[in-house]
Amino acid sequence: MKFVKIAGLGKYLPSKRLLNSDLEKMVDTSDEWIIARTGIEERRIAEKGVGASGLAYKASQIALERAGIDPQDLDLIIVATITPDTQFPSTACYLQDYLKAKKAVCFDMSAACAGFVYALVNAWQLIRGGLYKNALVVGSEVLSTITDWEDRSTCVLFGDGAGAAVLTESTEPGFLSAYLGSDGSQTDILNMPGGGSRNPISSEVIDNRMNYMKMKGNEIFKIAVRIMVQAANKALVKANLDKSSIDMLIPHQANQRIISAVAKRLSIPKDKIYLNIARYGNMSSASSAVALCEAWEDKKIHKDSIVVLDAFGGGLVWGSCVIKWV
C-alpha cells in the first residue's frame, strides 16, 4: 500500500458579495439575528450562467500550480457538488475539458456538505491501492441557484465557492485515517425535493418552490453537533491519536454555534479551529475545501501538523479525516 499526501491546495470565491444588510431588504431578517444565530456576515454569489465547473476550474488551476503537477498528469478528477452544471455529464467531465486533463478518470461525488471529505477519502484509497498516482479533488458549489430567496430560514445561510486539493503518492503518510457515515432514514430534514427523477422540473414543482433547498434547521443542529464530535473521535482512534494531538480542526462551516459546541466537546482551543463562516456562509462541499486551503495559506498548517477535517450534511452524511501534513 502506498502513502498519500496533499501536494497543493487552491480556492476560488466569486467577487460579488451579498451582505446581511442586502438580505434585510429581501426578507424579514436582520443583521443582528443572522450574526447571533449563525456567525455569518456575508457570502459570495457567482455570476449568472457560471456553473460549479467554472468555479472549480479556477480553484484547480491554483492547486495544480502549487503542487507542480501538469493537468495532463492527472489520473483522476472527483468533483464533490450538489449543484452540478448539469444532471449529466458530470461536472468533473466539464472540468477535465477546461484543464485538458485528457487521461483523467472523472466523476462527481454527491454527499452534500460532507462531499469534499468523502471525495478526499475516495481519492486517497484509489492512490493508496495503486490504481492512480495523481488526483484532483474539488468541492464546488453554486448554492445560490438552489436557494429560495424568499425563505428567510435558509437564504441567509448559503454562498458560492470552490476549493481544490491535489493528492499524490508520498514517501511518508499523509492521510492517516478516516471515518465516514450515512443515515438515509433522515432524508426529510434536509433536501431539495424537486428537479430529480421523482419530481422532474414542471410548473407544479416550480409553483411549489420544490426546486430549492428545504431544511429543518434546529433538528439538524442537534444531530450535527453529536455526530461531528463522534466522527472526529472515531477518526482519531483509527489513527491512534488523541484529540490533544489536533493542531488544526477544519470543521464544516454551517453555523458558528455548531462549531463552538463541537470544539467545546472535543476540548479544542479557539486558535486550533479554522473559521471562515463569517465571510462565506455555508458553501456545502466547498466549505471544508476552502477552509483547508485558507488554513494553509494563513500558515496555520505546517510540516507534521495533525489536521482533522470534520463535516456533516444532508443525507444525512458525515465524515472525518486525519491528515499529517508532509
Closest CA to 127 of 7, 239, 293, 285: 7
Choose between 230 and 305: whose C-beta lies nearer to ligand ACO: 230
Catalytic residue among 106, 282, 293, 321: 282
CA–CA gap between residue 184 and residue 115 (Å, rounded): 15
Q: Does 254 bind ligand ACO (CB under 6 A)?
A: yes
Name which of 71 and 159 has its Cβ closer to ligand ACO: 159
Is residue 25 a contact point for ligand ACO (CB under 6 A)? no
Out of 98, 107, 221, 325, point to the residue binding ligand ACO (CB under 6 A): 221
Near ligand ACO by CB under 6 A: residue from 2, 29, 148, 233: 29
Query: Out of 134, 177, 255, 288, which residue is the one contacting ligand ACO (CB under 6 A)?
Result: 255
In the three-class reduction of DSSP (H, G, I as helix; E, B as strand; rest coil), residue 129 is classed as coil
Residues in 261-300 that interact with ligand ACO by CB under 6 A: 282, 284
Residue 105's Cβ-count burial label (10 Å; 0-12, 13-18, 19+) is middle
Coil, helix or strand at residue 209? coil
Cα-trace Rg, the chain = 19
Q: Which residues contact 159 (CB under 8 A, 6 or more apart)?
A: 18, 43, 44, 45, 143, 144, 280, 281, 282, 283
Residue 71 neighbours by CB under 8 Å, 6+ apart: 64, 99, 100, 101, 104
84 near ligand ACO, judged by CB under 6 A: no
112 touches ligand ACO by CB under 6 A:
yes
Q: Which of 220, 246, 248, 286 binds ligand ACO (CB under 6 A)?
A: 220
Range in contact with ligand ACO (rule: CB under 6 A) among 55-63, 67-75, 126-134, 148-156:
148-156
Point out which span in 68-76, 86-94, 95-103, 216-224 binds ligand ACO (CB under 6 A): 216-224
Active site residue 282: yes
Please count the CA atoms within 13 angstroms of the CA of 252 that sit on its side-chain side.
36
Beta strands (DSSP E) in 39-159 are: 42-45, 76-80, 105-109, 134-142
Contact residues for ligand ACO (CB under 6 A)?
29, 33, 37-38, 112-113, 152-153, 156, 190, 217-218, 220-221, 224, 254-255, 258, 282, 284, 313-314
Residues marked active site are found at 113, 252, 282
